[in-house]
Amino acid sequence: MDRLKSLRNLFLRAGQRKRRDEVVAFSPQVPVPVCPECGGSGFTLLVVPFGHQDFGQAHPCRCVLKAVLERYLNHLPPLTFEGFEANAVNCVAYGAALAMAEGRHERPWLILAGQPGVGKTHLAVAVLRVRAEAGQMGRFEVVPDMLAWLRAGIGQEISAEERLESLKRCPLLVLDDLGKEKGTEWAEQIIYQLLDYRYRYRLDTVVTINGSLSAFPDAVRDRLLDNHLCRVVMIEGTSYRSGMSYGGK
Protein backbone atom coordinates (compact mmCIF):
# COMPACT_ATOMS: atom_id res chain seq x y z
CA MET A 1 0.00 0.00 0.00
CA ASP A 2 2.86 2.37 0.87
CA ARG A 3 4.58 1.54 -2.38
CA LEU A 4 1.35 2.21 -4.22
CA LYS A 5 0.93 5.52 -2.47
CA SER A 6 4.44 6.78 -3.08
CA LEU A 7 4.31 5.77 -6.74
CA ARG A 8 0.98 7.52 -7.13
CA ASN A 9 2.46 10.64 -5.55
CA LEU A 10 5.36 10.49 -7.96
CA PHE A 11 2.96 10.43 -10.88
CA LEU A 12 0.91 13.26 -9.40
CA ARG A 13 4.00 15.42 -8.85
CA ALA A 14 5.22 14.77 -12.35
CA GLY A 15 1.90 16.06 -13.63
CA GLN A 16 1.21 12.80 -15.38
CA ARG A 17 -1.93 12.21 -13.32
CA LYS A 18 -4.27 14.97 -12.29
CA ARG A 19 -7.09 13.07 -10.57
CA ARG A 20 -6.98 10.79 -7.52
CA ASP A 21 -9.29 8.22 -9.04
CA GLU A 22 -7.35 7.61 -12.21
CA VAL A 23 -5.52 4.36 -12.80
CA VAL A 24 -1.83 4.30 -12.02
CA ALA A 25 0.13 1.89 -14.18
CA PHE A 26 3.23 0.27 -12.62
CA SER A 27 3.88 -1.35 -15.95
CA PRO A 28 2.01 -1.11 -19.25
CA GLN A 29 0.71 -4.68 -18.74
CA VAL A 30 -0.63 -4.47 -15.18
CA PRO A 31 -2.70 -1.42 -14.34
CA VAL A 32 -3.37 -1.13 -10.60
CA PRO A 33 -6.50 0.81 -9.72
CA VAL A 34 -6.22 3.34 -6.94
CA CYS A 35 -9.11 3.22 -4.52
CA PRO A 36 -11.31 6.24 -5.25
CA GLU A 37 -12.48 6.39 -1.63
CA CYS A 38 -9.13 6.67 0.15
CA GLY A 39 -6.78 7.46 -2.74
CA GLY A 40 -4.62 4.52 -1.67
CA SER A 41 -4.02 5.66 1.92
CA GLY A 42 -6.17 2.85 3.32
CA PHE A 43 -8.02 5.22 5.65
CA THR A 44 -11.05 7.42 5.41
CA LEU A 45 -12.52 10.06 7.69
CA LEU A 46 -16.18 9.61 8.50
CA VAL A 47 -18.37 12.54 7.61
CA VAL A 48 -19.90 13.35 11.00
CA PRO A 49 -20.81 16.64 12.68
CA PHE A 50 -18.29 18.48 14.84
CA GLY A 51 -18.47 17.13 18.39
CA HIS A 52 -19.40 13.59 17.28
CA GLN A 53 -17.17 10.92 18.88
CA ASP A 54 -15.93 9.88 15.41
CA PHE A 55 -15.14 13.44 14.27
CA GLY A 56 -11.63 13.54 12.81
CA GLN A 57 -11.09 9.79 13.43
CA ALA A 58 -9.48 7.76 10.69
CA HIS A 59 -11.20 4.47 9.84
CA PRO A 60 -9.97 1.64 7.66
CA CYS A 61 -11.27 2.15 4.14
CA ARG A 62 -13.61 -0.35 2.53
CA CYS A 63 -10.82 -1.39 0.16
CA VAL A 64 -8.65 -2.47 3.12
CA LEU A 65 -11.49 -4.43 4.72
CA LYS A 66 -12.15 -6.13 1.39
CA ALA A 67 -8.48 -7.07 1.03
CA VAL A 68 -8.40 -8.47 4.59
CA LEU A 69 -11.53 -10.51 3.90
CA GLU A 70 -10.04 -11.87 0.68
CA ARG A 71 -6.83 -12.87 2.47
CA TYR A 72 -8.89 -14.59 5.18
CA LEU A 73 -10.88 -16.55 2.57
CA ASN A 74 -7.67 -17.53 0.77
CA HIS A 75 -6.30 -19.00 3.99
CA LEU A 76 -9.36 -21.10 4.74
CA PRO A 77 -9.34 -24.65 3.35
CA PRO A 78 -11.35 -24.79 0.09
CA LEU A 79 -14.30 -26.61 1.64
CA THR A 80 -17.80 -25.45 0.75
CA PHE A 81 -21.43 -26.54 1.02
CA GLU A 82 -21.52 -26.80 -2.77
CA GLY A 83 -18.67 -29.30 -2.63
CA PHE A 84 -20.34 -31.43 0.03
CA GLU A 85 -22.36 -34.49 -0.97
CA ALA A 86 -25.30 -34.66 1.41
CA ASN A 87 -26.71 -38.12 1.98
CA ALA A 88 -28.91 -40.01 4.42
CA VAL A 89 -26.27 -40.22 7.14
CA ASN A 90 -24.95 -36.67 7.04
CA CYS A 91 -28.00 -34.66 5.98
CA VAL A 92 -28.91 -33.63 9.54
CA ALA A 93 -25.40 -32.30 10.10
CA TYR A 94 -25.48 -30.60 6.70
CA GLY A 95 -28.79 -28.90 7.54
CA ALA A 96 -27.60 -27.82 10.98
CA ALA A 97 -24.38 -26.38 9.56
CA LEU A 98 -26.21 -24.55 6.78
CA ALA A 99 -28.67 -23.08 9.30
CA MET A 100 -25.72 -21.85 11.36
CA ALA A 101 -24.03 -20.40 8.29
CA GLU A 102 -27.17 -18.52 7.31
CA GLY A 103 -27.93 -17.34 10.84
CA ARG A 104 -31.09 -19.44 11.14
CA HIS A 105 -29.75 -21.49 14.05
CA GLU A 106 -31.63 -21.51 17.34
CA ARG A 107 -28.68 -22.52 19.50
CA PRO A 108 -25.33 -20.73 19.23
CA TRP A 109 -23.15 -23.84 19.49
CA LEU A 110 -23.00 -26.63 16.96
CA ILE A 111 -21.09 -29.75 17.95
CA LEU A 112 -20.25 -32.07 15.07
CA ALA A 113 -19.15 -35.45 16.34
CA GLY A 114 -18.18 -38.57 14.45
CA GLN A 115 -15.50 -40.90 13.29
CA PRO A 116 -12.63 -39.81 11.02
CA GLY A 117 -13.39 -38.61 7.51
CA VAL A 118 -17.16 -38.16 7.79
CA GLY A 119 -17.06 -34.46 6.90
CA LYS A 120 -16.99 -32.63 10.25
CA THR A 121 -14.19 -30.23 9.33
CA HIS A 122 -15.62 -29.79 5.84
CA LEU A 123 -18.97 -28.57 7.20
CA ALA A 124 -17.36 -26.37 9.86
CA VAL A 125 -15.21 -24.58 7.27
CA ALA A 126 -18.21 -24.23 4.95
CA VAL A 127 -19.98 -22.33 7.76
CA LEU A 128 -17.05 -19.90 8.01
CA ARG A 129 -17.02 -19.38 4.25
CA VAL A 130 -20.72 -18.51 4.00
CA ARG A 131 -20.42 -16.08 6.90
CA ALA A 132 -17.33 -14.53 5.31
CA GLU A 133 -19.23 -13.97 2.07
CA ALA A 134 -21.73 -12.04 4.19
CA GLY A 135 -18.88 -9.95 5.62
CA GLN A 136 -18.27 -11.68 8.95
CA MET A 137 -14.81 -13.01 9.64
CA GLY A 138 -14.58 -15.86 12.08
CA ARG A 139 -11.66 -18.00 13.15
CA PHE A 140 -10.71 -21.52 12.16
CA GLU A 141 -8.66 -23.10 14.93
CA VAL A 142 -7.38 -26.64 15.02
CA VAL A 143 -7.22 -27.10 18.78
CA PRO A 144 -3.70 -28.59 19.14
CA ASP A 145 -2.30 -25.86 16.84
CA MET A 146 -4.27 -23.18 18.65
CA LEU A 147 -2.76 -24.27 21.97
CA ALA A 148 0.74 -24.20 20.48
CA TRP A 149 0.07 -20.66 19.19
CA LEU A 150 -1.16 -19.57 22.61
CA ARG A 151 1.81 -21.13 24.34
CA ALA A 152 4.17 -19.39 21.90
CA GLY A 153 2.67 -16.09 23.03
CA ILE A 154 3.96 -16.44 26.59
CA GLY A 155 6.27 -13.49 27.18
CA GLN A 156 5.84 -12.18 23.61
CA GLU A 157 4.65 -8.78 22.44
CA ILE A 158 1.23 -10.17 21.62
CA SER A 159 0.88 -12.12 24.82
CA ALA A 160 -0.85 -15.44 25.43
CA GLU A 161 -3.56 -13.54 27.35
CA GLU A 162 -4.25 -11.21 24.42
CA ARG A 163 -4.34 -14.15 22.03
CA LEU A 164 -6.79 -15.98 24.25
CA GLU A 165 -8.88 -12.84 24.58
CA SER A 166 -9.16 -12.55 20.80
CA LEU A 167 -10.40 -16.14 20.62
CA LYS A 168 -12.86 -15.64 23.45
CA ARG A 169 -14.49 -12.64 21.81
CA CYS A 170 -14.43 -13.66 18.16
CA PRO A 171 -18.00 -13.59 16.76
CA LEU A 172 -17.72 -17.02 15.15
CA LEU A 173 -15.16 -19.60 16.23
CA VAL A 174 -14.54 -23.05 14.81
CA LEU A 175 -12.69 -25.35 17.19
CA ASP A 176 -11.60 -28.25 15.05
CA ASP A 177 -10.58 -31.53 16.68
CA LEU A 178 -11.37 -30.66 20.27
CA GLY A 179 -10.03 -33.49 22.42
CA LYS A 180 -7.05 -34.17 20.13
CA GLU A 181 -4.80 -31.94 22.23
CA LYS A 182 -2.30 -33.24 24.72
CA GLY A 183 -4.21 -33.22 28.00
CA THR A 184 -1.94 -31.11 30.18
CA GLU A 185 -3.33 -29.12 33.08
CA TRP A 186 -2.47 -25.90 31.23
CA ALA A 187 -4.30 -27.00 28.06
CA GLU A 188 -7.32 -28.09 30.06
CA GLN A 189 -7.42 -24.73 31.84
CA ILE A 190 -7.17 -22.74 28.58
CA ILE A 191 -9.93 -24.75 26.92
CA TYR A 192 -12.13 -24.38 29.94
CA GLN A 193 -11.60 -20.58 30.01
CA LEU A 194 -12.30 -20.28 26.29
CA LEU A 195 -15.42 -22.43 26.30
CA ASP A 196 -16.75 -20.96 29.52
CA TYR A 197 -16.49 -17.41 28.17
CA ARG A 198 -18.21 -18.31 24.91
CA TYR A 199 -20.80 -20.28 26.86
CA ARG A 200 -21.61 -17.34 29.13
CA TYR A 201 -21.92 -14.88 26.24
CA ARG A 202 -23.62 -17.38 23.93
CA LEU A 203 -21.18 -16.71 21.09
CA ASP A 204 -21.50 -18.69 17.86
CA THR A 205 -19.14 -21.65 18.04
CA VAL A 206 -18.73 -24.78 15.94
CA VAL A 207 -16.84 -27.63 17.59
CA THR A 208 -15.74 -30.79 15.83
CA ILE A 209 -15.04 -33.83 17.92
CA ASN A 210 -13.58 -37.09 16.77
CA GLY A 211 -14.66 -39.57 19.38
CA SER A 212 -16.70 -39.54 22.51
CA LEU A 213 -17.89 -36.67 24.67
CA SER A 214 -17.31 -38.85 27.72
CA ALA A 215 -13.56 -38.32 27.36
CA PHE A 216 -13.86 -34.62 28.28
CA PRO A 217 -13.48 -33.20 31.78
CA ASP A 218 -16.87 -32.90 33.53
CA ALA A 219 -17.04 -29.09 33.36
CA VAL A 220 -16.42 -29.08 29.59
CA ARG A 221 -18.72 -32.02 28.88
CA ASP A 222 -21.52 -30.45 30.88
CA ARG A 223 -21.39 -27.29 28.78
CA LEU A 224 -21.23 -29.24 25.53
CA LEU A 225 -24.32 -31.16 26.58
CA ASP A 226 -26.37 -28.08 27.48
CA ASN A 227 -29.44 -28.45 25.31
CA HIS A 228 -30.30 -24.77 25.54
CA LEU A 229 -27.00 -23.74 24.07
CA CYS A 230 -25.69 -26.63 22.00
CA ARG A 231 -26.90 -28.69 19.17
CA VAL A 232 -24.96 -31.93 19.10
CA VAL A 233 -25.07 -33.79 15.79
CA MET A 234 -23.47 -37.15 15.38
CA ILE A 235 -22.42 -37.95 11.81
CA GLU A 236 -22.56 -41.67 11.33
CA GLY A 237 -21.16 -43.48 8.33
CA THR A 238 -17.85 -44.34 6.81
CA SER A 239 -14.86 -42.18 6.06
CA TYR A 240 -15.15 -40.22 2.82
CA ARG A 241 -11.36 -40.51 2.56
CA SER A 242 -10.92 -44.23 2.83
CA GLY A 243 -14.40 -45.74 2.92
CA MET A 244 -13.42 -47.29 6.25
CA SER A 245 -15.81 -47.66 9.16
CA TYR A 246 -14.14 -47.17 12.51
CA GLY A 247 -17.06 -48.36 14.64
CA GLY A 248 -17.24 -47.45 18.35
CA LYS A 249 -18.04 -43.98 19.67
Ligand X SMILES: Nc1ncnc2c1ncn2[C@@H]1O[C@H](COP(=O)(O)OP(=O)(O)OP(=O)(O)O)[C@@H](O)[C@H]1O
Q: Are 114 and 235 in contact (CB under 8 A)?
A: yes
Q: Which is nearer to Zn ion, 6 or 189 (CB)?
A: 6
Q: Where are the alpha helices (DSSP H) in 102-139?
A: 120-133
Please choose, from the candidates 224, 202, 200, 199, the residue with its C-alpha nearest in 3D space to the C-alpha of residue 211: 224
38 binds Zn ion (CB under 5 A): yes
61 binds Zn ion (CB under 5 A): yes
Q: Are 101 and 131 in contact (CB under 8 A)?
A: yes
35 binds Zn ion (CB under 5 A): yes
d(CA 171, CA 136): 8
122 binds ligand X (CB under 6 A): yes
Contacting residue, 4, 24, 34, 63, with Zn ion by CB under 5 A: 63
* Shortest separation between residue 62's beta carbon and Zn ion, angstroms: 6
132 binds Zn ion (CB under 5 A): no
Angle at 74 between CA 70 and CA 78, to 5 degrees: 130
* Shortest separation between residue 17's beta carbon and ligand X, angstroms: 47
Q: Which is nearer to Mg ion, 44 or 121 (CB)?
A: 121
Query: DSSP secondary-structure letter at 44?
Result: E
Which among 2-10, 110-118, 157-165, 181-189 is the span making contact with ligand X, rule CB under 6 A? 110-118
24 binds Zn ion (CB under 5 A): no
* Shortest separation between residue 119's beta carbon and Mg ion, angstroms: 8
For 181-246, what is the HEC assignment?
CCCCHHHHHHHHHHHHHHHHCCCEEEEEECCCHHHCCHHHHHHHCCCCCEEEEEECCCCCCCCCCC
Residues 59, 62, 64, 68, CA torsion sign: positive
121 binds ligand X (CB under 6 A): yes
Q: Hey, which residues between 33 and 92 contact ligand X (CB under 6 A)?
A: 79, 83-85, 90
121 binds Mg ion (CB under 5 A): yes
Q: Are strands 172-178 and 204-209 parallel, antiparallel or unpaired?
A: parallel
* Shortest separation between residue 186's beta carbon and ligand X, angstroms: 24
115 binds Mg ion (CB under 5 A): no
Q: Are strands 109-114 and 230-235 parallel, antiparallel or unpaired?
A: parallel
Q: Hey, which residues between 176 and 215 contact ligand X (CB under 6 A)?
A: 177, 208, 210
Q: Are 197 and 101 in contact (CB under 8 A)?
A: no
Which among 28-36, 112-120, 146-154, 233-241 is the span making contact with Zn ion, rule CB under 5 A? 28-36
Q: Which does 35 bind (CB under 5 to 8 A by kind): Zn ion, ligand X, Mg ion, none?
A: Zn ion
Using CB under 5 A, list all residues that contact Zn ion.
Answer: 35, 37-38, 61, 63
Using CB under 6 A, list all residues that contact ligand X.
Answer: 79, 83-85, 90, 114, 116-122, 177, 208, 210, 240-241
